[in-house]
Structure 1
């Protein structure tokens, strides 16, 4: 973690709570996000945990992480969602005519992203690549993905293959990727494409974005919040005793 002056050490991770404007620098950086679900999964997946710990910036993408920082470290930090990061980077790139590459999801989703992006951020050059849908990528798959991303020579690489797959893939291939900023942002691909609607600002301002998402997609999201929520609380309060 390079940004030690803007981080709080909580739950075993260095969590960034600084200015997003500091993301563009001369060095290559990897940006991941942490929420209660990914924390719980990482406790059972050492490779995933190692990927998160080795991210240059780890954003608090969940009210649970914000609350844990307050309870355990008495630090007040704000939630920074992957969607917030995505919008910030697009806004900054649009000011100077930057370029970005979207790696992940379906070709239909990438096409929708491209259509919206060209309308809202006309100064940005954009391309994308949809990898095969599989639990694990073959060596050939990985080579095609890296080649596609590097051939565009983009400033920012957005990776959307859901956690923990995307974080582990980025960690494994960081040295082979040319982009200066590499972000694992999962569901943001669908949010921006419009295939999944992000809960409104009212839900987000109340700290209830998680509830809005669960109500929209109960079959897919219930376990993430209703099952892993109590597990996360157990982890937090067990660390408080120590």
Structure 2
């Protein structure tokens, strides 16, 4: 399950991932939600995901994961920051040297500074 970004971005990310991994079922919801929104939680529960990738940025994605960790005990939840934008093609990955040194997050912090 992909949770985060704008609806347009998360739809494009789902489409790209579905093309790359055709044997895996994906579902999504945009990330502009209240952390306590049970409508989204119920939708995720109905999908019964093995993984929930939360791309809402720090600290919102970590707060959402911590708030709902007991509802998805057998599901792996991971904060993925701006990865949904990368999968959707809306943003490029960091230059190779940042990736090689495992400091892509520094590049993101500099480029996406708000």
TM-score range, shorter chain: 0.7 to 0.9
- C-alpha distance 208-185 of structure 1, shift in aligned 2 (>3 A): closer
Which residue of the partner structure matches residue 189 of structure 1? 84
**Inter-partner Cα distance in structure 2 for 1:202 and 1:163:** 23
Report the Cα offset of residue 213 of structure 1. Answer: 6.2
Secondary structure, counterpart of 2:27 in structure 1: strand
2:35–2:64 contact (8 Å) kept in structure 1: no
1:167–1:184 contact (8 Å) kept in structure 2: yes
Which residue of the partner structure matches residue 109 of structure 1? 9
The question of 1:165 aligning with 2:21 is answered no
The question of 1:151 aligning with 2:46 is answered yes
Spell out structure 1 runs of 4+ moving beyond 6 A: none
1:146–1:177 contact (8 Å) kept in structure 2: no
The Cα offsets for residues 21-45 of structure 1, whole Å up to 9 and x where unpaired, read as xxxxxxxxxxxxxxxxxxxxxxxxx
1:153–1:179 contact (8 Å) kept in structure 2: no
**Inter-partner Cα distance in structure 1 for 2:18 and 2:69:** 27
Quick check: which has more Rg, 1 or 2? 1
Superposed CA RMSD = 2.3
Structure-2-length-normalised TM-score: 0.83
Which residue of the partner structure matches residue 125 of structure 1? 25
**Inter-partner Cα distance in structure 1 for 2:50 and 2:38:** 20
**Inter-partner Cα distance in structure 1 for 2:68 and 2:23:** 29
2:2–2:14 contact (8 Å) kept in structure 1: no
1:109–1:193 contact (8 Å) kept in structure 2: yes
Q: How many residues align?
A: 113
- C-alpha distance 148-212 of structure 1, shift in aligned 2 (>3 A): closer
- C-alpha distance 122-138 of structure 1, shift in aligned 2 (>3 A): closer
